[in-house]
Chain A
Amino acid sequence: MSDADKKEGVLYIGIDLGTSRTSVSASNGVRETVGSYVGYPKDVVSQKLLKKDVLFGDEAVEKRLSLRFYRPLEHGVLKNSNADDKSDNEIQRAAEDLLKEAIRLAKPRKDELVYAVIGAPAQASIHNKEAIVRAARQTVDSVMLCSEPFAVAYGLEMLDDVLVIDIGAGTVDLCRMHGTMPEDTDQITLTSAGDFVDERISENIRTSFPEAQFSVQMIKAIKERHATVATDTERIRVDLPVKGKPTSFDITDELRNACRDMIPPIVEGLGKLVATFDPEFQERLKNRVLLAGGGSQIRELDSAIEEYMHQELGGGKVIRIEEAIYGGANGALKIAHDMPAEYWEKLS
């Protein structure tokens, strides 16, 4: 039994801590994702009914009426992480619980060291980074943060002359990779992300069909199912209640226009990053644009951005990454793997 004594190991975890979805990739082969929603039973009655102290993801969304419901990473950062009042403490607690849940999903064994790399929004404030690290320290042995778009590019081994667009729910992160670690000037964070699209869809539907009743969660579900920027798509019909009666509405234009609204700010941001780059490599940079994140699943978005880049920047080529949900987590896992031992030890 010569090798049987090798019990303990090192579990690397890459986490993409997103506004609406937190994804985890681990060195034991586990890949999981959970909605970034946390709920605590409002009172003893709901606690008895739910039989849980804390609920996460879709379950929390489903039972949200019985819960104190939190979305701790709204706008891609820990909400109010630099404030001190009671509700903010609960948000911090929700963030900690969400991270604990993400790490639990990675199924670490008790006898293993857990080293995690967490993808944070490119321009997260120092307070936010501190809050994330504080939350993570509760459950892992050593933790590092890195920029989300950088993690995506690193995971795909595209380190030279690449522009990354990482579309999340709270933020769109743009990052310019040029063979070294991106600096602040290489990164732009926009708020015209998934939540922005949800608001636009709601506004458009409200304007076109004022009698229709809907909630944010319903709009999210519609978007996740039908989102597209394609012009030649089948008509999209959804049932929305009108005075309690389900009524069918054709929301094709409302949905498409809302999704298209996110393109101009993205291309404008790309233009800034291209324009401030070495002129010799600008053309190459424009032709290596990676589209990642949950928002990249909007149908035909890559072609639409490309088309807009042609109009505004005179050309461009957009490549949609294969794994929209796990791209960031996979990259963070790769960074965790490549990080030397002494770095982990110093941070533990």
Chain B
Amino acid sequence: MRDFAAPHTRMPTANFTGSQEALFSPVQVRALMAAEFERARRYGEPLAGLLIGVDRLGQLTDFYGYEAKSEILEAIAELMNENLRAGDFLGCRIEDSLLLILPYTGRDGARALARRILSGARALVFEGGGRTLRISVSISAAYSDNPSSNHFSGLLEVTGNGLRAATEDGGDRFIEWKPVESDFDRLRRDLEDRIQSLRSDLPGGAPRETANMQDIAPAPLAAAAPVPPAAEEVPVAEAESSASLELSLSAKLRSLLDAQAAEGQEDSAALQGKIQELLTQHNRQIDVLERRISKLTRNLELTEDELKRMSLLKDVDVGVASIYRDVQGLNADAESAEAKKHMMANIFEANMELQTQINERARKD
């Protein structure tokens, strides 16, 4: 058991810490890291980074003072010294967190180490102001085989985000943080894909200009092309789904002209009328598609606005996680445990009686 009031004890000298003051400065670590990451990349060696933060250190400092904070951080550094292999890691202190870089260490090694540190921290006991204090830590990991953390600043960002997430979830946990696609991003991507798909279904991506006689010129009348199936109404959905409207219109025109040639009719006015009818129908389909695009674009804008509003609402305090995962109960080793146990039972019985009375009254009412 450590006593905050006891003289400030220094950590035993070890390979990277020695004492908090002896940790590498962030500038030194940056220089060393560039070489370390380069080596890992060149030789395909794994490299892991762990960022370790003491849960609620700020509150503990407020309550027990800065000496307690130093004592706790030194105890954590000491714990790491005990759990790490000599000579194959680098460490530094970033604000109130401790960063470990573990060359030649993959996911399994980093996870095992993180678990050891987590359980080691849970076992630490401090004594301050006549009270016993236990602490917990949160650990975030990142690995060099991940593109977002294959350089030092990326690794710092990933581990920093992870540590924040671990702390917000109540601490006392190990997290391998990955950027998560938000609902907002996903929905926007889906809608953009749909719009893109609709646009690509339009002839040449430029709706009106393609729908003219030059672009869909009929084959020469003399061409003895095989007779295609009779022209049919192409439903909009079908046009959207696969064949472009342009191809559909070409097929229809070709079919019409072939039929005309086969029948030997030469009534150009009637032919022009039928072609015009086909073009009108084609333009109508394009109109429908354009209206749908316009509607979807408007919906996308509205959805984006709504999602922005909701993302702002996310700033509404979601709360602060409790230190405890489950009900604690009286510690059998606590001072006056037996008397306290008796008191707890008395309080419970009095409240049980009160609850019974409330229930009876509610039944009568």
Contacts and interface: CB of A to CB of B under 8 A. Distances in A.
**A and B physically associate:** yes
B321 A6 contact: no
A133 B354 CA distance: 9
A339 B348 contact: yes
Interface residues of B, number: 47
B147 interface: no
Given A134-B358, A179-B339, A12 B324 contact: yes
B348 A343 contact: yes
Nearest to A179: B339
B339 to A, nearest CB: 5
A130 B351 contact: no
A4 B174 contact: yes
Nearest to B115: A2
Interface in A139-181: 144-146, 154, 157, 159-160, 179-181
Interface string B310-350: 00000001111111111111100011100110111011101
Contacts of B304: none
A27 B324 contact: yes
A130 B115 CA distance: 47
A288 to B, nearest CB: 15
Interface in B46-102: 56, 59
B113 interface: no
Contacts of B329: 338-341
A278 B340 CA distance: 21
Interface in B262-321: 317-321
B3 interface: no
Contacts of B339: 159, 179-180
Interface residues of A, number: 47
Nearest to A336: B328
B319 A110 contact: yes
Nearest to A145: B351
A144 B347 CA distance: 8
A343 B344 contact: yes
A347 B351 CA distance: 8
B173 A3 contact: yes
Nearest to A9: B322
A338 B344 contact: yes
Nearest to B319: A109
Given A29-B323, A179-B339, A130 B317 contact: no
A144 B355 CA distance: 9
Nearest to B326: A10
Given A4-B173, A346-B352, A337 B328 contact: yes
A144 B350 CA distance: 9
B118 A3 contact: yes
B355 to A, nearest CB: 6
A109 B130 CA distance: 31
B362 to A, nearest CB: 9
Interface in A202-258: none
Interface of B: 56, 59, 111, 115, 118, 130, 166, 169-170, 172-176, 317-330, 334-336, 339-340, 342-344, 346-348, 350-352, 354-355, 357-358, 361
